[in-house]
Structure 1
Amino acid sequence: MTDRPMGFDTLAIHAGAAPDPATGARQVPIYQTTAYVFRDADHAAKLFNLQEVGWIYSRLTNPTVSALANRVTALEGGAGGIACSSGHAAQIMALFPLMGPGKNIVASSRLYGGTITQFSQTIKRFGWSAKFVDTDDLGAVSKAVDKNTRAIFCETIANPGGYVTDIPALAKIADRKGIPLIVDNTTATPWLCKPIEMGATLVVHSATKYLTGNGTVTGGIVVDSGKFDWSQNDKFPSLSQPEPAYHGLTFHAALGPMAYTFHSIAVGLRDLGMTMNPQGAHYTLMGIETLGLRMERHVENARKVAEWLEKDPRVDYVTYAGLKSSPYQKRAKKIVPKGAGALFTFALKGGYDACVKLIDNVKLFSHVANLGDTRSLIIHSASTTHRQLSEAQQVAAGASPNVVRLSIGIENVEDIIADLDQAMTKALA
């Protein structure tokens, strides 16, 4: 290879891996092993002291899993990354080095329902909290950040409504406040958006979705930009102060741009154990090889379906940011210039009951609690993924009772439209 930067599709196939040195295997092998033999006692001691990089135990690192983390890191343009057991695990892993009892995050009110529950309820058990703010109101975001805030969290393309977030604007606020911006890039993928280039510090993914692309495994990824100065203030002692478990090692001083990544492995995965299995990593690596090809078709199909729905008199509105009528179209051209993704909602005349009947009458669409599959997927968020929220929270999250969420697949678009057409006819009969 030459020294010139490689293109996205080349990185999606080659980044993070080389032919296996032991066998010459071209595809990344599945290293189905728990532990690794040390060369000698000195080698083992250096590994445990973080004086040497290598393999210790698969709860921490595994060659197959590391290849996946390195590939996504390359696609996102980061310094380092870790792979873990799910997208929800990735969110906790992303926050873990930053937080402590009494600390909070400022989070977008337009998030996946499970994330809202995790942030509003579950993280309280760690003594953490979240403030939910409409991230279109930059003044409100800035005002919500207080002395105990440790991060701002948003999604590139919000699930379920497909709203596009102004990442550079939020990054400026985070930078001014001396805290990182964390961006969930699941629904956009690095093919559509690279948040680090727009000022984000950390990027998280549910690898379960578009990265794998075939609905076979769960997984999560955290990518660090390597650009944040963890020692600029006293807000992040896990990274800027001596770590007792490593004989007083100060991660940021010792490891620089890789401090966050090494802390996430050496402390986060060591103690939380949110480990990805190597077979799951292998499936995701294979999925990523065709990510660019799939995303192009996902976006093309989604645009055509959204345009068809918008013209249909049975539909109140469509939230796809790629439509000319969308208030987010201008922003989408800046944040996701290759297209507004393949996830959006539409409001069906007839309300809640009509939405449920629509779900029960689709044939090609799969009614599942997932997105980012090659198959077209559908769900009524208010009665499922966002059911635990109040109606006000559902509306704020873009999951009103009268809307259905679509994840448009890569089938022939004529078949996708025909299935929606017949199901709407039956739902409104």
Structure 2
Amino acid sequence: MDQDMQDFAAEARRFLDAHAAKAPDRTALTWGEGDDSMAYFSSLPPEEEREFVRRAREWQRIRHEHGFGWITGPREYGGRGLTPVHDLLYDAVESEYDVADTGVLGVIGLGMIGPTILAHAQPHLKERWLPAMYRGDAIACQLFSEPGAGSDLASVATRAVRDGEDWVLNGQKVWTSVAQHSQIGLALTRTNPDAPKHRGITAFLVPMDTPGVEVRPLRQMTGGADFNEVFLTDVRVPDDHRLGEVDGGWTVALTTLMNERATVGSEGAGPVAAALSPDHLSALMRATWTWDDRALRARLGELLVDVLATEHLNARALRKVRGGIAPGPEMSVSKLMYGQNLTRAAHFVSDVLGPRLIADTGRWGTYAWTELLLATPALRILGGTEEIMKNILAERVLGLPKEPVTPAAKEVRS
């Protein structure tokens, strides 16, 4: 590590020592001790969820005040102007401390929408929203998916019609994470229904308190309500809230999607890390007297080999980021393997536990896995379905020809 990085790490440690306690050793596992929750999605009661969000925003504010809120961001928008390597180094140092989880702000807003605003928004929008987002004052959501346009995102039907200096938006969005906490949403809309579907889309930043915006929670089978429906009824958005060119929203969307797949494919803390941990899974087998089952041990070995391969793939992607290369379509591999590895882990554990997975006996580390098992169907959909990821890899990475489109399919898509 060169002197600049050493000085930066020392500065980060001084800041964290002054504002947070050291975290317990997360690598050590003592079976039967600590929290055995394996929840991927939140299932907190509303009052606890509000407190969770408040703590996240407060910690982000403290980070920002001390120069760690947006390490790679331009100085004119409240960033520090440093490199992605500094960002990664700070994350590594902060992981040693017990701080608030800022995922409600960071995964979508700061990880996906912030870079999109920086790349495509008009200057006054950058000045208004980027400092607010990275300071923790504003949370952003992604108004992309619709009931009829999830995997095929270019088929969005939400209309935006020009009316003087405004656009009037009408439509429905769905599976919108953190919409209930958000102050701003990035919306994809159909502005030219006569153009080819990728060329008739325009992106807008929509303040979530605009009249006509209605957020309705969607209850999940895990018990929580992380996702929402968002209804847009005669929502007026000024033209200066447009991102990119009229009918050029697909370019804006791709910026968000590439960052989304990089973010989703690289998550690995908390229950996610435990679900793919050799120590945790082998301890579970010993605690349930299944370690001598050779077939289960072989499956565990196969799973862990794939987990190790995915870790090396992510490390390679991080090296590219350090070299200044933006996330590309190859990040779809990370996203694809992320969902598949967690799904296989949950199914493996269900075979280890048997009926202990569906009846809460109070025994530590058993029934809690139900939370992850119930979340796995979503993991293979969110951020792009597995089928879409495979098409992207085939066409954009391997250079294979696109799937043929029949005349009937062309008529439906138009």
TM-score (norm: length of structure 2): 0.21
More helix by proportion, 1 or 2? 2
Q: Which structure carries more relative contact order (alpha carbon 8 Å, separation 6+)? A: 1
TM-score (norm: length of structure 1): 0.21
